[in-house]
Amino acid sequence: MKIDERLKRAAETGNVDALYSLIHQDANVFKRIDKMEFVDTPLHVAAVAGNTGFAMEMMNLKPSFARKLNPDGFSPIHLALLNQQTQMVIDFLSVDKDLIRVKGKGGFTVLHHVALDENYLHLLCRFLDVCPDCIFDLTIERQTALHITAEKNKFEAFKAMLEWIQSAFEDNKSKRSKILNFQDKDGNTVLHLAASINHPQMIKLLIECKEVDRNKTNESGFTAMDVLQRQTVGDNTESVNILNSNPLKFQKLSKFKILKDAVEEMTPETMGVLLIVFSLVLAMTYQGVLSPPGGVSQGTTHREGKSVMNTFTFLLFYISNGGAFLISWVITLLLLGTVAK
pLDDT truncated to tens, each residue of the chain (341 aa)?
A: 567 899 999 999 999 999 999 999 999 999 999 999 999 999 999 999 999 999 999 999 999 999 999 999 999 999 999 999 999 999 999 999 999 999 999 999 999 999 999 889 889 999 999 999 999 999 999 999 999 999 999 999 999 999 999 999 988 989 999 999 999 999 999 999 999 999 999 999 999 998 999 999 999 999 999 999 887 767 888 998 988 876 555 555 556 666 776 777 778 888 888 888 888 988 888 887 777 776 666 655 555 556 666 777 777 877 888 888 888 888 888 888 877 76
CB atoms within 10 A of CB 327: 14
Residues 75 and 100: their CA atoms lie apart, in Å, by: 10
Residues 279 and 271: their CA atoms lie apart, in Å, by: 12
Q: What is the pTM of this model?
A: 0.71
Residues 7 and 38: their CA atoms lie apart, in Å, by: 17
| 61 Cβ contact partners less than 8 Å away, ≥ 6 residues apart | 30
Q: Measuring CA to CA, how many Å separate 2 from each of 40, 70, 75, 245, 262?
A: 8, 11, 16, 60, 60
CB atoms within 10 A of CB 242: 20
Would you call 303 exposed, middle or buried from its count of C-beta atoms within 10 A (0-12, 13-18, 19+)? Answer: exposed
CB half-sphere exposure, 140, CA atoms < 13 A:
5
Given a contact cutoff of 8 angstroms between Cβ atoms, the answer to whether 19 and 40 are in contact is: no
Q: Measuring CA to CA, how many Å separate 116 from each of 148, 158, 256, 282?
A: 7, 10, 32, 51
| 212 Cβ contact partners less than 8 Å away, ≥ 6 residues apart | 180, 181, 189, 191, 206
Nearest partner of 206 among 155, 134, 259, judged by Cα: 155
Compute the residue count for the chain.
341
3-class SS at 297? strand
